[in-house]
Structure 1
Amino acid sequence: MSASRVRRPTEAAALARTVRRPEYSLPAVFADMTTAHRLGDREGLRLLACRAVRATSLEVGE
C-alpha cells in the first residue's frame, strides 16, 4: 500500500512566499519610523529599523 501525499491549497503559495524577498519602500519606512518616534513606540521603531536595513542590504550570497 502506498501513501499518497495530500496537497493543501495554500502550501504552494506559502512556499512561493518564502522564496520571494519582500520589497519595502524606503521613504515609507522612514515616514513610519518618524511616526513611531513621535508616538514613543520603541518596539515599532526597532522593527522598522530592521526593515530599513533589509531594504538597503543585499541578500546573503548576492
Structure 2
Amino acid sequence: MKQSEIISLSVAELQEQLSQSRKTYADLKTTHTISPIQNPLQIRKMRRTIARLVTELSKRELQ
C-alpha cells in the first residue's frame, strides 16, 4: 500500500487495515517458516506497510 493511499484513509479505515495487515503478516511468517513461500520479499513489504500505517495513526493522534 502506497503512502498516498494511506493518507486518504480515515482513522477507522486505518485501524481496520492495520489489523488486516498484521494478520496477513503473521500468516506469511508462519507459512514461510513451515515451507518457503514463492516470494519472500512479501514479508518485508508487509512489515513496511504496517510501519506506514502505525506512523500515520500516531501522526493523526498528535494533531
Query: Aligning the two structures, in what range does the TM-score lie when normalised by the shorter sequence?
Result: 0.3 to 0.5
Q: Which has the higher helix share?
A: 2
TM-score computed with the length of structure 1 as normaliser:
0.41
Larger Rg: 1
TM-score computed with the length of structure 2 as normaliser:
0.40
Higher relative contact order, structure no. (Cα contacts within 8 Å, ≥ 6 residues apart): 2
